[in-house]
Amino acid sequence: MALAVQLLERNGRVDLTAQVKYRDSGTMRERQLANGCRHCDALQGNFPVQEEAFAQVAAAGGPDGLDTLLVAECPTLAWQAVVHNNGGGVIAV
Judge if pTM exceeds 0.85. no
Q: How far is CA 2 from CA 19, 56, 57, 59, in A?
A: 13, 24, 24, 29
72 and 11 in contact (C-beta within 8 Å)? yes
C-alpha distance across the termini of the chain, in Å: 13
CA atoms within 13 A on the CB side of 85: 15
Backbone angles phi, psi at 75, to 5 degrees: -60, 140
For the stretch 81-91, pLDDT in tens is 887 876 555 55
For the stretch 37-79, pLDDT in tens is 888 888 887 777 788 888 988 998 888 888 888 999 999 998 8
